[in-house]
Amino acid sequence: MTIHEKSLIRPENLIQHDKLVIDGVDVSGDWSTFIAPRVITDYNEALEAEIAAMPGGQHIHRCWQCGSCTNACTVNALNPDFNPRYWIYLIRLGMESELLRDKDIIWQCVSCNKCTNICPRDVDPEGVMKATAHWLELKGHTPRSPAMTFDHEFSAQVVATGRIEEGRLLQRFFARTGQKLTQDWLVGLIRGLILRLPVGLLARLGLAALRPPRTRRWDGAQRAMNEFIAEQTTAQRKALGLPPETAR
Amino acid sequence: MSEPIAYYPGCALEGTGHAYDRSTRAVGAALGLPLQELKDWNCCGAMEVKNIDPRLQTFLSARNLRIAAEMGHHTVMAPCNGCYHNLKKAEHDLTHDPDSRETVARLADKSGEAAYQPGSVRSIHALEWIREALGADGLRARVKNSLKGMKIANYYGCMYSRPRHIFPEKDKGPGSESTSRPHFMDELLAAAGAENMEYPLKTACCGGAHTLSDSDTSTRLVLNLLTAAEECGAEVIATECPTCHSGLEMHQARAARVFGKQTRVKILYFTQLLGLALGLSARQVGVAENLSDSRDFLRARGFR
């Protein structure tokens, strides 16, 4: 007999025999295909609590698996493996190794908030995606993603000066992720702009790049935010049972 | 002249979104709607700081709201979807989440500043600003140079209406904005003489959060927006967010160079289109400052 919905079974879990005799009966042909038995023993029972301890993950326990998040998801429409409903399910059951199969795409959430908008239980799936991406990196399952690198560069600049100067952000991000600033589509775009811009404005933009804008009277906020980030990092590492961060 | 309201331009409008800042101020001046820029404003955290901790983002926006209150304003206007979204999100979290309220109070105290009292300042988008001050009819009466049936796809993006929780004033029936099918920009541009296309991707995502960190995803999302607009018959996509706007422009160019997919639809800020209709010149609304080039298209339509 054929296995219905065979496409839903992972290839490695399908066992196919060219010739098979069971109890003296030759069952070669259609009868020789089996689904491998699965026994799951490696639960991480703390997984849900660990994700809930990451920023954005605190409401994961509310999920009742309706699937509205995945149905609404922007990234899912591009890649069906991007499945927030399923990941929330795995996290709540503690199926860490199954979750880790998708570890390299979870960071790709674009924060369009379609899931959080539609969720009938206020799980904040968008926050859960970010919490899970954090968890993956803190646990050392994935290297720092380009998106998280950008978040850190961006936040560091806001904390330091109160504002973002896009040119400098771009430059630092490209340097950090080993990309060339001279990608030809970007060069073409900027060359076109420079040819059109009035000289006065060009001079002003150039000046902004040399002397980035700053928020005045920012020292207090800077100090408070730095202390808060350090305090939260310590708390997060503790919640995951990791040793305190060593000075970088 | 009406009472001035607080103006929060945000970082993007000082950089890549410069044309949006210029056209917003020019439209305000042309309509007699005075703006007063927030003193010592800070970045709202965009879509990045919340990934470090959402409460930091709340603190950043609460600080801006507190400055607006101290300047004596009851309303702060932000043209950037990200800034607007974060102001609304901060107001929502401070009202509904005790943990956010305590954390922000503690951060404000440590930084030696007063904490913002939720409910004291109302945050509005540039679309609401013009619509509330004049309404579509009031705007129509001011039009000097009609858009003459220019075919426009109105693109609102994600942050203007999602998640619905932080916009309690929306979805309140006739006259209010809709989170699923927003129409404020459509109404203003129709009053300026545009013909609005039935565009199904008004609130679809441009991938702006990962415009540089996951460029292929962004290019695919943007290409979808551009081709859908062209198939709807639009000549122009009107935008109301600097991140969406520059994302559309950048990935239109990237789609052509990297994917070999050419699209011709023009990308303009709704304030640029309104400004032109109010009789301002292309220069006064910063058309040459956009990353994409719409000058020939506008000239052919009689806008100089």
Task: Say which CATH superfamily domain A47-138 falls into.
Answer: Alpha-helical ferredoxin (1.10.1060.10)
Q: Residue A191, CB half-sphere, CA atoms under 13 Å: how many? A: 8
Q: Which pLDDT band holds residue A242 (cuts at 50, 70, 90)?
A: very high
A54 Cβ contact list (under 8 Å, min separation 6): A130, A131, A132, A134, A135, A138, A236, A239
Q: What is the pLDDT of residue A33?
A: 83
A164-197: b (≥16 Cβ within 10 Å) or e: bbbbbbbebbbeeeebeeeeebbeebeeebeeeb
The CA dihedral of A158, A162, A164, A165, to the nearest 10 degrees, is -130
Q: If DSSP codes are grouped into helix, strand and coil, which group holds residue A200?
A: helix
Q: What is the pLDDT of residue A2?
A: 66
When pLDDT is averaged across residues B233-238 and rounded to a whole number, the result is: 98
Chain B residue closest in CA terms to A163: B43
Q: If DSSP codes are grouped into helix, strand and coil, which group holds residue A16?
A: strand
Give the phi and the psi of residue A10 in degrees, each rounded to 5: -65, 140
Query: Cβ separation of A113 and B40 shorter than 8 Å?
Result: no
Q: Tens digits of per-residue pLDDT, B181-227?
A: 999 999 999 999 999 999 999 999 999 999 889 999 999 999 999 99
Share of chain A above pLDDT 90, in %: 61
Q: Please say whether the beta carbons of B84 and B169 come within 8 A.
A: no
Comparing A191-195, B84-88, B226-230, B260-264, which segment has the lowest mean pLDDT?
A191-195
Q: Look at B160 and A190; give whichever has higher pLDDT.
A: B160
- Report, in angstroms and rounded to the nearest whole number, the Rg of chain A calculated over CA atoms: 25
DSSP state of B255: I
Helix (H) or strand (E) holding A15: strand A14-16
Q: Tens digits of per-residue pLDDT, B86-136?
A: 999 999 999 999 999 999 999 999 999 999 999 999 999 999 999 999 999
Residue B22: count of CB within 10 angstroms of its CB: 22
When pLDDT is averaged across residues A142-146 and rounded to a whole number, the result is: 93
Give B139→chain A minimum CA distance, Å: 30
Q: Which pLDDT band holds residue A7 (cuts at 50, 70, 90)?
A: confident
What are the angstrom distances between the C-alpha of A49 and each of A52, A62, A91, A241, B168?
5, 13, 9, 12, 31
When pLDDT is averaged across residues B223-245 and rounded to a whole number, the result is: 98
Please give the Cα distance from A113 to A80 (Å, whole number). Answer: 18
Q: Tell me whether B248 touches chain A (CB under 8 Å).
A: no
Which amino acid, B222?
V
Query: Cβ separation of A165 and B41 shorter than 8 Å?
Result: no
Task: Note the residue count of chain B.
Answer: 304
When pLDDT is averaged across residues B232-260 and rounded to a whole number, the result is: 96
Asked if residue A207 has pLDDT above 80, the reply is: no
B 273-292 → A contacts, CB under 8 A: 288-291
For the segment(s) B5-124, the CATH number from 3.40.50.2300, 1.20.1050.140, 3.40.50.620, 3.40.50.1370 is: 1.20.1050.140
What are the angstrom distances between the C-alpha of B49 and each of A19, A151, B240, B278?
60, 6, 22, 38
Beta bridge partners of B236: B152, B266
Q: Tens digits of per-residue pLDDT, A155-182?
A: 999 999 999 988 878 888 888 887 777 7
Q: Tens digits of per-residue pLDDT, A106-130?
A: 999 999 999 999 999 999 999 999 9
Q: What is the DSSP string of B167-190?
A: -TTSS-STTSPPSSS--HHHHHHH
The CA dihedral of B21, B187, B61, B46, to the nearest 10 degrees, is -70
Q: If DSSP codes are grouped into helix, strand and coil, which group holds residue B144?
A: coil
Q: What is the pLDDT of residue A144?
A: 93
Give the phi and the psi of residue A41 in degrees, each rounded to 5: -125, -15
Beta bridge partners of B75: B122
Taking contacts as CB-CB distances below 8 angstroms, the residues of chain A near B111 are: 220-225
B126-152: b (≥16 Cβ within 10 Å) or e: bbbbbbeebebeebbebbebebeebbb
B 137-166 → A contacts, CB under 8 A: 158-159, 162-165
When pLDDT is averaged across residues B218-245 and rounded to a whole number, the result is: 98
Asked if residue B1 has pLDDT above 70, the reply is: no
Q: Note the CATH number of domain B144-300.
A: 3.40.50.11810
Helix boundaries (H) for chain B: 18-31, 49-52, 54-70, 81-96, 98-110, 126-142, 184-191, 215-231, 242-254, 270-277, 295-300
What are the angstrom distances between the C-alpha of B279 and each of B27, B78, B146, B248, B304?
10, 24, 9, 26, 10
Q: Tell me whether B52 touches chain A (CB under 8 Å).
A: yes
Give the angle subtended at the CA of A166 by the CAs of B92 and B115, to the nearest 5°: 30
Taking contacts as CB-CB distances below 8 angstroms, the residues of chain B near A55 are: 50-55
Q: What is the pLDDT of residue A213?
A: 80
Asked if residue B252 has pLDDT above 60, the reply is: yes
Query: Cβ separation of A196 and B163 shorter than 8 Å?
Result: no
- Measure CA of the first residue to CA of the last residue in chain A; give whole Å: 60
Asked if residue A193 has pLDDT above 90, the reply is: no
Query: Cβ separation of A155 and B162 shorter than 8 Å?
Result: no
Beta bridge partners of A33: A16
Q: What is the pLDDT of residue A188?
A: 75
Can the peptide bond before residue B163 be classed as cis, meaning omega within 30 degrees of 0? yes
Q: What is the pLDDT of residue A247?
A: 54
Q: Tens digits of per-residue pLDDT, A20-68?
A: 888 998 888 767 888 888 888 889 999 999 999 999 999 999 999 999 9
Is the dihedral angle over the CA atoms B214, B217, B221, B223 positive or is it negative? positive
Q: What is the pLDDT of residue A11?
A: 87
Cβ-nearest to A78 among B46, B217, B289: B217
Tell me what the pLDDT averaged over chain B comes to.
96
Instruction: Return the domain boundaries, chain A.
Output: 6-35, 47-138, 146-214
Query: Cβ separation of B11 and A218 shorter than 8 Å?
Result: no
Q: Which pLDDT band holds residue B255 (cuts at 50, 70, 90)?
A: very high
DSSP state of B120: S
Instruction: Return the domain boundaries, chain B.
Output: 5-124, 144-300
Cβ-nearest to B214 among A108, A170, A218: A108
